Structure 1
Amino acid sequence: MIENLPELFDTVLSTAAPTNDQDVEVASYMAGAAAAIAVGLAALGSGYAERGIGAAAVGAIAEDRDMFVPGIVMTVLPETLVIFAIVVIFLVS
């Protein structure tokens, strides 16, 4: 399988339309892998952002109870990044 990687990359990276069933299958698998990587990276970025926002929100809520709703809203905002990534995958495929 490893010795076939250059051929697989040439198949996927070429701008020509797939010519046989194997090329179509490889392109399908590579598109699925790209989608999985995109959603995974979006989730990692969202988690990284929520880490700092959550800590700041808890600190703000500890000092002022009126900051609860804005803290929750700010904590939830990065999660929409993952939702948008999943929606884009469904729109593209």
Structure 2
Amino acid sequence: MIISSLLAAEGLAQLGCSLGAGIAVIGAGLGIGKIGSSAMDAIARQPEASGKIQTNMILTSAFVEGCALFAIVACAFLI
């Protein structure tokens, strides 16, 4: 009885960690999509500033990816 409830709790913990990692990836995808969309709008409005906009876009995308990767690794360690 006790062992089966411990195994069920462990399964629920793994499910929660997997859902957390999935939500982190979805959030990162949405964030990078928004960054790209905004950068393209900005470049269309001021083409002469495209170099600075592109540099900032890549840097911000890297930060978003880093946060998502950190969340995935944290979830993996909890499993």
Instruction: Name the TM-score, length of structure 1 as normaliser.
Output: 0.64
Gaps of 5+ in 2: none
- Report if the CA contact (8 A) 2:17-2:78 is conserved: no
Higher Rg of the two aligned structures: 1
By percentage of residues, which structure has more helix?
2
Percent identity between matched residues is 24
Cα RMSD of the aligned pairs, angstroms, is 2.1
Name 1:6's counterpart in structure 2: none
Name 2:16's counterpart in structure 1: 34
Q: 1: CA distance between counterparts of 2:58 and 2:43? A: 10
Task: State the 1:61 CA deviation.
Answer: 5.0
Q: 2: CA distance between counterparts of 1:42 and 1:86? A: 7
Q: 1: CA distance between counterparts of 2:43 and 2:37? A: 10
Name 2:51's counterpart in structure 1: 66
Superposed CA offset, 1:23-71 (max 9, x none):
1211111011000110111111111111110122234456224223222
Paired residues, number: 75
Gaps of 5+ in 1: 1-18
Q: Which has the higher contact order (CA 8 A, sep 6+)?
A: 2
Instruction: Name the TM-score, length of structure 2 as normaliser.
Output: 0.73
Matches within 5 A, 1:1-93: 20-60=2-42, 63=47, 64-67=49-52, 68-93=54-79
